[in-house]
Structure 1
Amino acid sequence: MVLALGASYVASRGGGPRSTFGLHRAEILAALVNALALLVVCGYLAWAGISRLADPVSVDAGPMVAFAAVGLVANAVSLVILNRSETGSLNLRGAANEVFADLVGSVLAVLAGAVIWVWGLDRADPIASLVIAALILPRSLVLLRESAAILLEVAPRGLDLDDVRRHLLAMPGVLDVHDLHAWTITSGMPSLSAHVTVTEEALAELGVGGVLDRLSECTAEHFDVRHSTFQVEPVTHREHEDLGEVH
């Protein structure tokens, strides 16, 4: 929770002159750290559960149930607060996953404590640990995959670049679309860039500004990408396209 809130605060601050995209990725880094921390917890719980199944340890059920009940209430309140957020932030999802893991742990600890108290079955505690690990592992892997995809600048899920290319090519005057890239700056902030070759007639009729307006409206309307950057090129620019590679 502290990490998630701290990352949200950092992300809300404007970046310096070198942070041209701001500090939005702080939230994604926090989500990645949360995912890795949860995987470490999963590994520890699995190891501890298997070890104590083989060699059961006596557990004092009374304090176990009492502390778990307090944790259950606190985690339930925290989870309700986090779930009220509608930002879709990967960072907050990471925090929610941690609270969920604690909540599940508290519930199973209460149940395990009750079983130990009533029936004296000490193996209920390691069994609960294994169940907790099994429940939080899938959520942790999903969080890890999604945060890594953003940091690696993989195209946003649900955005088909071939479909984007087809829409742009269908616009009057557009001859070619190349160097098409899409990435996510942070949760809910997809971006797109492309080089677009247009006819001389389109440039003469609409001007560069008019062509840019149409391209931006296309991606915003059909793909909900609000931040698009286009380089509009005349046909004669093709022979200069790779000058950067020559030098």
Structure 2
Amino acid sequence: MGRTDVGARDEHGHRKPGHGRGHEDGHEHGHGHGPDHGHAGHTHGVSAGADRRWLSAALALITVFIVVETAVAVLAGSLALLSDAAHMLTDAFSIVLALVAMRLSARPARGGFTFGLKRAEILSAHANGLTLILAALWLGYEAVRRLIDPPEVTGWMVLSTALVGIAVNLLATWCLSRANRSSLNIEGAYQHILNDLFAFIGTAVAGLIVLTTGFARADALATLLVSGLMLKAGWGLLRDSGRIFLEAAPVGLDPDEVGAELAATDAVTEVHDLHIWTITSGEPALSAHVLVEPGGDCHRVRRALDRMLAERHGLTHTTLQIDHADRSAEDDGRAPAGSAAGHCETPHGPVHLG
């Protein structure tokens, strides 16, 4: 068993760049974090506390309006207004979920949760996407039913309430736009509010048509349009959160290209077991097994790879296992020189040769 050199650590307990675990055989396993990497808070300058304040302000606005709009929807007999109220209820639910998720994700890593509860934010975004889709399906069904048999709708009540709803949702949307929308959690709540704003605009148009022409089906048609927007937004949230749960590489980052760049680095002979995933919104991570030519400087290679990953791809949470290629394996006929099979019992993923 080789000795371990703990090395310097930062305030999070992570090993600082340039410090790896040095083994007696000269091999190295490095875990580097660049200066821009942050485990707590947000990297764009908006604090978590400010996010919570903006979300809480939007929640207060929406909760008050839900009560008023539900009462008016029942009196006016408007499905569009009732659908808006139901959508706003999911808005309030989405903001509550986002606030709870922010609290959970801020807890430090401990015990079996080695990344903490950062994925709670992604769970919240996934739930928000699901509620958008379920609400859209229900509203779409009701809209079709009312197209077939339209009820009487009080146009002026629909129009006036929708105009107030537009004002409320503009304020709520502005509040959430001030928060950290790079977080999929907050983006989920934002999409709820934004779609509700579109819903109120559609409802206002429908109310005006009903008021001026008496065409009652405009109410149901506006609901169908909003249902389509909700389906689109909900699917986007499910897709993005699903990619994170399935450990897919961040959108726009090709693991094959990254592997080829790592393998093309001076003194590197092979890269395998390369994994790129997202811990939570805005926190991509990479791990890989890198083989260096015999006699190569493992420490120098790791520092060069860390720097390249940070500068070219913004990957600052990296774990690189650096080993010398085993030439004796080829001489003994056990495996090709420097191959993954010579170092890993069960190598997985493509192999990139230098």
TM-score above 0.5: yes
In structure 2, the CA distance between the partners of 1:107 and 1:20, relative to structure 1 (3 Å rule), is: same
The answer to whether the aligner puts 1:40 opposite 2:134 as a matched pair is yes
Offset of 1:244 from its aligned partner? 9.7
Distance 2:346 2:137 in 1: 51
Offset of 1:148 from its aligned partner? 0.4
Which residue of structure 1 aligns with residue 103 of structure 2? Answer: 9
- In structure 2, which of residues 315, 320, 326 is the aligned counterpart of residue 225 of structure 1? 315
3-state DSSP class of the match of 1:15?
A: coil
3-state DSSP class of the match of 1:201?
A: coil
**Residues 88-132 of structure 1, C-alpha deviations (whole Å, 9 max, x = no match):** 111111111110121112122222122222222111110110111
In structure 2, the CA distance between the partners of 1:84 and 1:211, relative to structure 1 (3 Å rule), is: same
Distance 2:103 2:157 in 1: 37
Which residue of structure 1 aligns with residue 208 of structure 2? Answer: 114
Offset of 1:86 from its aligned partner? 4.6
Q: Which amino acid counterpart does residue 50 of structure 1 have in structure 2? A: V
Which residue of structure 2 aligns with residue 158 of structure 1? Answer: 252
In structure 2, the CA distance between the partners of 1:100 and 1:170, relative to structure 1 (3 Å rule), is: same
Which residue of structure 2 aligns with residue 144 of structure 1? Answer: 238
Which residue of structure 1 aligns with residue 69 of structure 2? Answer: none
2:97·2:124 contact (CA, 8 Å) conserved in 1?
yes
**Residues 4-26 of structure 1, C-alpha deviations (whole Å, 9 max, x = no match):** 12212221222322211121111
Identity between Structure 1 and Structure 2 (%): 38
Comparing 187-196 with 110-119, which one deviates more in the overlay?
Answer: 110-119
3-state DSSP class of the match of 1:200?
A: coil
Distance 2:313 2:195 in 1: 35
In structure 2, the CA distance between the partners of 1:48 and 1:160, relative to structure 1 (3 Å rule), is: same
The two structures have a TM-score, normalised by structure 1, of 0.91
How big is the alpha-carbon RMSD for the aligned residues of Structure 1 and Structure 2? 1.9
Distance 1:99 1:113 in 2: 21
Offset of 1:137 from its aligned partner? 2.0
In structure 2, the CA distance between the partners of 1:82 and 1:243, relative to structure 1 (3 Å rule), is: closer
1:61·1:113 contact (CA, 8 Å) conserved in 2?
yes
Which residue of structure 2 aligns with residue 215 of structure 1? Answer: 305
In structure 2, the CA distance between the partners of 1:31 and 1:182, relative to structure 1 (3 Å rule), is: same
3-state DSSP class of the match of 2:295?
A: helix
- In structure 2, which of residues 174, 186, 191 is the aligned counterpart of residue 97 of structure 1? 191
Which residue of structure 2 aligns with residue 83 of structure 1? Answer: 177
Q: Name structure 2 gaps, 5 residues minimum.
A: 1-94, 327-337, 349-354
> How is 1:54-73 mapped onto 2 (pairs within 5 angstroms)?
54-73=148-167
Distance 1:183 1:24 in 2: 14
2:268·2:301 contact (CA, 8 Å) conserved in 1?
no
Q: Name structure 1 gaps, 5 residues minimum.
A: none
Q: Aligned pair count? A: 241
3-state DSSP class of the match of 2:222?
A: helix
Distance 1:63 1:195 in 2: 66
**Residues 74-95 of structure 1, C-alpha deviations (whole Å, 9 max, x = no match):** 1111111212335511111111
1:46·1:133 contact (CA, 8 Å) conserved in 2?
yes
**Residues 26-73 of structure 1, C-alpha deviations (whole Å, 9 max, x = no match):** 111111111111001111121111110001011223333333233222
In structure 2, the CA distance between the partners of 1:87 and 1:142, relative to structure 1 (3 Å rule), is: closer
In structure 2, the CA distance between the partners of 1:26 and 1:167, relative to structure 1 (3 Å rule), is: same
Distance 2:344 2:162 in 1: 64
2:289·2:322 contact (CA, 8 Å) conserved in 1?
yes
1:173·1:201 contact (CA, 8 Å) conserved in 2?
no
2:273·2:347 contact (CA, 8 Å) conserved in 1?
no
3-state DSSP class of the match of 1:29?
A: helix
In structure 2, the CA distance between the partners of 1:231 and 1:5, relative to structure 1 (3 Å rule), is: same
In structure 2, the CA distance between the partners of 1:63 and 1:87, relative to structure 1 (3 Å rule), is: closer
**Residues 192-225 of structure 1, C-alpha deviations (whole Å, 9 max, x = no match):** 11000112221xxx3x433321221121111111
Q: Which amino acid counterpart does residue 225 of structure 1 have in structure 2? A: L
Comparing 228-237 with 139-148, which one deviates more in the overlay?
Answer: 228-237
Distance 2:316 2:176 in 1: 27
Which residue of structure 2 aligns with residue 242 of structure 1? Answer: 345
Distance 2:261 2:346 in 1: 28
3-state DSSP class of the match of 2:110?
A: coil
